[in-house]
Structure 1
Amino acid sequence: MSGDTEAAKPAGELPIRVGGDDYAVISSVPLAESPLPPAPTQPRGEASSIPQYRRSSSLPEPADAETLGAGPADSSVSDAMPPSRRERREARERQSFLQTDRPEEPARHGARGALNKLGFKVSPNATEQSERDDETAVSRHWPGPRTIAVVNGKGGAGKTPTTILLSAVFARYGGAGVLAWDNNQTRGTLGWRTEAGAHDRTLLEMLPETERLLGTGAQSADLAHFVHHQPREKYDVLRSKPIRLAHENRLHPQDVDAIHAVAAKFYRLIIIDSGNDESDPMWLRMIDQADQIVVATTTRDDHAEAGALLLEALEDRDERSARLAEQSIVVVSQADPKATAADVDHIVNGYQELAREVVSIPFDHEMVDGHLHYGSLAKRTQRAWLSAAAAVARGL
């Protein structure tokens, strides 16, 4: 009977069968109208024993994401790998076991310091904390050398003491690598107020050796032939030769560049004591090399006026000089023991609008004449110079 059925089936129709090993025709569909996809092509040389018919099932065929309107399936979701241990560690912040904050030291001075000696732990008061902050500021080491020019167009305004004591503070708290340089065409006296080394050489003897000192074979110890080490405060001095006439000491801008290049190679801080002639090419070249300007003045009106005029002239020179003037530090030294607090305030207040910071230094007999040592100053004078150096450091 089965054969009769198949014989009666119109030509071009495909039987659809269901069941296990026994198949029965349940319908016949014209081949041209069949909704079934064509049978998958078998690779050449391979045969399949599975009949190429769609099996009937009570379960619906799975619908893909595009049919459901969700757009093309994102293969990255199914193919995504779970995060590695390193990725999970980097995704979260672990609290370090190491202490990153600088621990606060207990008070050392005054009644609070006395309590700490008895076993208590008392923090410093505001005055002592301010001193510690200034010590931290001047102890910094900057990435690359820094140059500070101490200036005033008037002689006797305190440029040399300012150069010496700033050098002493920076060397004392920040370590070695500080040079005080006498860049004075008119008989600079930096060498007279500091200790001499085992020789009498000056920058005039160094100048012919600058090319060698800039070479790869030069060492910092080679500078001992030209600079004068200060054993108490641990900085070096590069002297001028004040016994010679000004025209015999004459340097040119390229000479300043050469000496500065040597100083910058071997020192982290270069503090320059300048001359009084602001039109001198040597003076102007120093300004071009400076990272910070310090105006030194006393409480005398002519000294203060000369410093103020200098800052105004720098503002008009060029953009860089104007920026140096705006960020300058003014150090007002009380050179006259009879000067009153009102005299000091008059100068300090007058500079407030011209400079970034103004620091006043009290009168001290140790600053008047002779060799100048930071350790010989009164405690309050030392504290004032520490404040002045910290003000400079904040601008570097």
Structure 2
Amino acid sequence: MTEQTVQVTIKNTGGQWAGSYAVGNQSYDLDGRDRNGLYVTAIKRVTEIAKREDNAVRTVIDDHHSGMAEVVLIDPDGGVERVETKPLTAEPVPSRKAAHAAAAEAETTPETGAQAPAAPAPDTPSPSAQAFVATLNQAPAAPAPTPELQPSYETASFGQRPRASQGAVIAREGFNGTLNRMSGGMLRLPASRAEARRARLVETLQAVPAKTPVTWAFMNSKGGGGKTTTLYNIGAIIGSLTSHKILALDGNDNHGTLGDKGRRQSHDATVRDLLNVLDAYTKDNPSGTFVPPALIAPYLHAQPEKFDVLPSQNRAYDTKVLTAPELRRLYELVSPSFSHVLIDTGNNIEGDASTSTVQVAADVADHYVFSMMGKIDNARNAFATMDYLIRAGFGEKVRASVAIVNKTHTTAPEDLDEIIEFLKGRVSTYVIVPWDAELDRGRDIRFDRLAPATRNAYLDAAVAILDPNSHNRP
């Protein structure tokens, strides 16, 4: 069937909001007292058209107040593919996949005027396990081949866990990889132990089914423990390697920094904006709590690594905090649209689930990730967070959790040993992430610029988090 197009127009003239939508040559007015009300009504009307046509409807929402146009595909069941957010005068792009590819290309385009590599076609499949392994082990700017990487990260599992299959992996890197390529397929020399291990980790990650939803809360009651950085990089590697729909949700009470770590879209929407829209939508739909993904998508910030970020309110004039009941309501309405939800928690753990956003995250999460720096004082705060959650009745989740220890450039071996000793018996698995100069800058994260050992460590952490039963002792 031919994909239908609906044109939605929203304007503000002299303080009065007005909207309309056009199907073919017919135009209809939209009901709504403000921009959010008009947007909610438009989404509802287009969903009705999609159901009637039993086909996706391409919808172009021209917001003359902001000067931007949101292009989405809305399915009969309310599913959505964001195609593009663009100035009203810009040409559209073909698909959401192409938008992700273009965002990734923009991040890697050199500033010298040299032509950047072409973005992959919209229908390009996700990379295979061995192809991505080669990307992981390739330094960001290596002019010549380097010696085989020896992983500088560490990981350990407390308890018995099954090992991944040990089938042969054909070399794509190093000397054997070079010979395999030169032979045109005549040779199939085996990969090194390090390369084979990475390949099996990627295969394990890609074999995890996309359940809906599975939620992780990233915990440490003290700021500066690396929660936000860890969450973003875990989202980046899972998004890059799988087709799972991933939401990184900033659950900080106010002024969270998750939005600062990633790339923002042309809009600056936050959890507060989405909550306002959800309030309007559920008021008009009191019989059910299902929220169409099309209603959520315009408030998300798509990342080049193929996952979405919903940042906390962080504007100077936005002083209204995100309350515990609001976080729970937001999670319950939004999470069914995703395979995995990663919640970046705040620092205020005191109170209960009616007053503390951290306790709400602890309650709704299926699993915990405790992030800490390789410093005794910061690690002690993570340990105190574990103890508090155990006393609050979450002991089983704590004991099944994953700990991420982020080394600093001053982490002493004896301090690391002390931290690891304390983790024994408290969590199921820990992963040590090496110090990385790129992350130490404190700027927005470019995952492809991280050192190979850092990317490898996050791969190991992602497997431990996404499928801990398949995690191995190295």
TM class by shorter-chain length?
0.5 to 0.7
8 Å contact kept, 1:344–1:360: no
Amino acid across the alignment from 1:332: V
Name the SS for the 1:271 alignment partner: strand
Q: Which residue of 2 aligns with 1:324?
A: 397
> Quick check: 1:202 aligned with 2:270?
yes
Q: What is the Cα deviation at residue 357 of structure 1?
A: 0.6
Q: State how 1:1-396 maps to structure 2 within 5 Å.
A: 105-117=169-181, 118=183, 119-139=186-206, 140-210=208-278, 212=281, 219-230=292-303, 232-244=304-316, 248-253=320-325, 255-279=326-350, 280-318=355-393, 321-334=394-407, 336-368=408-440, 369-395=442-468
1:182/1:190 contact within 8 Å kept = yes
C-alpha distance in 2 between matches for 1:269 and 1:361: 22
Q: Which one-letter code corresponds to 1:166 in the other structure?
A: I
Pairs aligned (count): 291
Shift of 1:242: 2.3
Report the Cα offset of residue 245 of structure 1: 7.9
One-letter code aligned to 1:261: E
Hey, what's the Cα distance between the residues in 2 that align with 1:167 and 1:133? 19
- Per-residue Cα deviation, 1:360-389 (whole angstroms, up to 9, x for no partner): 111111112111121110111100111111
Q: In 2, Cα distance between the equivalents of 1:322 and 1:341?
A: 29
Greater CA drift, 290-299 or 207-216: 207-216
Q: Name the counterpart of 2:36.
A: none
Q: Which residue identity lines up with residue 378 of structure 1 in the other structure?
A: A
The structure richer in strand per residue is 2
Q: Residues 352 and 358 of structure 1 are in contact (CA less than 8 Å); yes or no, is this contact kept in structure 2?
A: no
User: SS where residue 272 of structure 1 aligns?
Assistant: strand
Could you tell me the percent identity over the aligned residues?
25
| Larger of the two Rg values belongs to structure | 1
1:186-239 per-position Cα deviation (integer Å, ceiling 9, x unaligned)? 421111121111211111111133363896995434323211111x21111101
Structure 2, unaligned runs of 5 or more: 1-164, 470-474
**1-structure distance, mates of 2:346, 2:316:** 15
Give 1:302 deviation, angstroms.
1.4
Change (3 A) 1:102 1:262: farther
Supply the RMSD in Å over aligned alpha carbons: 2.5
User: For each residue in 1:87-143, what CA deviation from the matched residue of structure 2 results, as whole angstroms up to 9, or x when unmatched?
Assistant: xxxxxxxxxxxxxx9985512122332332222122333322221222123322333
Answer whether contact 1:146 1:268 (CA < 8 A) is retained: yes
Extract unaligned runs of 5+ from structure 1: 1-100
Aligned residue for 2:210, secondary structure, equals coil
Q: Distance in 2 between matches of 1:104 and 1:348?
A: 33
Distance 1:246 1:220, change over 3 A: closer
User: AA paired with 2:312?
Assistant: S
Q: TM-score, normalised by structure 2?
A: 0.57
